[in-house]
Structure 1
Amino acid sequence: MEQYFKAVKIDVEETKVTTATMYLTGDAKLWWRTKYDEIEKGTCTIDSWERLKEELKLQFFSENVEYNARRALRDLKHTGTIP
């Protein structure tokens, strides 16, 4: 998205949020509908691209995903022959 923002010269934070959320699908789209309702009611504020990224990470990015990826790499074992 950041490359897209640069390419089309989007500098306004509100426009970045609107543009990025337009591309959400599936669970992320459902999550955004709920968040948008909260924004409309004044119980939530997502008014910048950085804030949107933080909220998306909190909702969808497991806290231990990096640890799990490193552990999976560490546990890799060569089991076959090299031709």
Structure 2
Amino acid sequence: MENYFRAKGIMYDADKVNIASMFLTDITLLWWRGRTTNKRQDEIGTWQEFQCELKGQFYLKFVEEEARAKL
């Protein structure tokens, strides 16, 4: 995504979050829809926050699945 943002000249965090969210699919898209409609959670304001939340939610699961696939 960082390369895409650089190539397109996208500088603002809100734009980065909006664009990146358009590429979400399946479970990540469901998570994002729930995350953005939940009034109890703070709005994600920066690109860094978006990345941290996404990784926190899915990264470990992805690593585990990749490790199992290599066995």
Same fold (TM over 0.5): yes
The CA deviation at 1:43 is 2.4
Give the helix-richer structure, 1 or 2: 2
Aligned partner of residue 7 in structure 1, secondary structure: helix
- Aligned residue for 2:3? 3
- Aligned residue for 1:51? 49
Decide which structure has the larger Cα Rg and report it: 1
TM-score, normalization: structure 2?
0.80
Aligned residues: 67
Report the aligned-residue RMSD: 2.3
- For 1:34, the aligned partner's letter is G
Map 1:22-61; keep pairs closer than 5 Å. 22-38=22-38, 41=39, 43-61=41-59
TM-score, normalization: structure 1?
0.69
- Aligned residue for 1:73? none
Which is bigger in relative contact order (C-alpha 8 A, separation at least 6)? 2
What are the superposed Cα offsets for residues 27-73 of structure 1, whole Å, 9 maximum, x if unpaired?
A: 000000001102xx26222111111110011100118x4xxx6xxxx
Provide structure 2 residue ranges, at least 5 long, that are not aligned to the other structure.
none
Q: Retained in 2: the 8 A contact 1:35–1:44?
A: no
Could you tell me how far apart the structure 2 residues matched to 1:48 and 1:28 are? 18
Provide structure 1 residue ranges, at least 5 long, that are not aligned to the other structure.
70-83
Question: Identity over the aligned pairs, expressed in percent?
Answer: 41
